[in-house]
Structures are given as C-alpha cells and as structure tokens.
Amino acid sequence: MLTFGNITLKHGLFLAPLAGYTDRAFRTVCRALGAEFQTTEMVSSRALCYHDKKTPLLARIDQEELPASVQIFGSEPSFMAEAAAMVAEGMAGGAVPSAVDINMGCPVKKIVSAGDGSALLRKPELAFDIVKAVKRAISLPVTVKIRVGFGKEDRGVGIPAFAKALEEAGASLLAVHGRTRADMYSGEVDLASIAAVKSAVSIPVVGNGDIKCAADAVTMLRETGCDGVMIGRGAIGNPFIFAQIAAALEGRAYTPPTLREKMVVALWQLRLAASEKGEYTAVVESRKQFAAYTSGVRGASALRGRMNAITTIAEAEALCRELLQNSEA
C-alpha cells in the first residue's frame, strides 16, 4: 500500500511520463489494464505562462484517468509556481489532477542546456526553491522525478541529501530513475542509490528504470525497499505489464495476452488517439507503438516496413488481420 496526500494505491504501480508516448490514449489504455497512477508528458512551465495554445492540451487529464498528475518542467520558481497553479485547476476543460509532478530528471540535451530537467540535480538550492514555490502555490500534493546523479562520477553522491531537501521543501513523493544524466538510458540501473534515497526520506519513494517484466519490479522493490515502481519504456507496446506485476505481487498466476488480444488493444489505443488528434496524426504517431506491440511476433518483421507507411486506421486494421493470419498459418 502506497499513500501520499489523499491518494492510496494498492501496489504503487505508476506509468512514467514519456515524451511522445504517454498521451491521453496511452494513459487511458494503461489505466484500464492495471496502472494505478499515471503522469502526462512533460509540459513546459514557460509555455503555459506564455499562454501557448497547444500546451494546455498536453496538460489535460480526463476524469477516467484519475488518479493522475501533470508533469511540469522549468527552472524559474515563479514560472513553475504559476504553471502549477494553472494545471491545478484542470487544463483545456479537463479534470483537476491528483498531483503536480516536477521534472528534475530529463536528460535530453535541449532540456538540460536550458537549465531544466536533470540540470537541477547540480543546483540543490534552486531545486529546493522550485518545490517550495510550487507547494506554496497549490493545495495538491507535489511530487518530483529525479535521477541518482548528474555525471557518472557523482552517481549516488549527494543524492540522499538532495532528496531530503526536496522533502523539506514540501514534496510528497519522489520517483527515482536509477541512472545519472550522463548514463541517459544505457547501463545498469543503480538500485543501491535508489535504496539510499529511500533511507534518507520519510515520504514514499518510487523506483524507476529498466522494469520490463514482473521479475524486474519484484527485484526493484526487494533491493531498494521503495514503495512502488514506475514503468516507462517497459509499458510501450506492453500495457499488460501492470497486470503482470500485480499478479506477481499478489502471488497469482498470470496468463500473457494472445497476439489477438494485443492487436485489439493496439487498435483501441489508435482509435482513442484518433478521436483526439485526428486520424492521420494518430496513425503516424502510432507506427512506433505498433512496432512495439508486434516485437518478437513471427512474421512481424516482414510487415514492419509497410507498418511505417500506413496513414489510415483501415490500413492498420488490415495489417493486424494479416499478421494474425500469418501467425496462425
């Protein structure tokens, strides 16, 4: 059981925010298949404050997604506080989020070069001020996503104190990716540093990084003592992972989805996206998702080139039928 604010989660199963992936369609699917909490793609505090027309749509959460949070990024406390106050009211006609999450872990060069994301790991006083300002601006719980260090040489060094400062500033929960900014998404996840963060704070800690199956989640929980797990890339094309982890934690048998069940969910996700973004945009963006849904499936590699050229839902449906026929032949 994981509790923060007025939110209680049975297993602490979080869908990580992933730019370009965790749109409302994917979040809706993951929620239906067992994710207990999800977060939007990261949203620029500056863009919100400057009233960019497209940004509120990124920050919109629908009622059926709850509990869920909006993740904001930036490095100016005043902008972060203003943006948090905006999203805490619900964006673009959507529901009020359950929490506001602050990104202090994104390793992408463009983000870091602007002083945002994981760049804040090197500026603990500024990070403290940002959390404090956001907490002062809203009544919702404030959560923070961090990494275990910036450069490889400071892996784990100072991160427990950094985490404690975030707690003192008002954070209600920390999600910790077990890599440094320098690691990007390669190398082994540092479970010991996540455990050190857990030992340093009294608020819930969620472990993140390379959770691709139930066994990975069980290892994360056992080795770090963290209160929950956050799944990012492991859920792409496999939103069923949340049910798999829940079954493992409850000691129940788990039956993996059939290829037909995977295709049903993939097409459902596509239709959800199309209802929001329009058919063409949704189909183009879904190509990478379809590739993930069909990874390792017999006959899928032969269709992948055609999959990357589809532009309509009808074409996607036809490819799914062909893949099913080929796999059952």
Distance CA 169, CA 315 (A): 51
**Burial of 79 from C-beta contacts in 10 A (0-12 / 13-18 / 19+):** buried
Distance CA 40, CA 238 (A): 18
**Burial of 241 from C-beta contacts in 10 A (0-12 / 13-18 / 19+):** buried
Q: Where are the alpha helices (DSSP H) in the chain?
A: 24-32, 45-49, 55-58, 77-87, 109-113, 124-137, 159-169, 191-200, 214-224, 241-250, 259-277, 279-293, 300-307, 313-328
Query: Does residue 46 contact residue 207 with C-beta atoms inside 8 Å?
Result: no
Q: At what angle do helices 279-293 and 300-307 cross, to 10 degrees?
A: 160
Q: Mind telling me the catalytic residues?
A: 106
The number of angstroms, rounded, from the C-alpha of 146 to the middle of its chain's C-alpha atoms is: 12
The count of C-alpha atoms lying within 13 angstroms of the C-alpha of 57, restricted to the half-sphere facing its C-beta, is 8
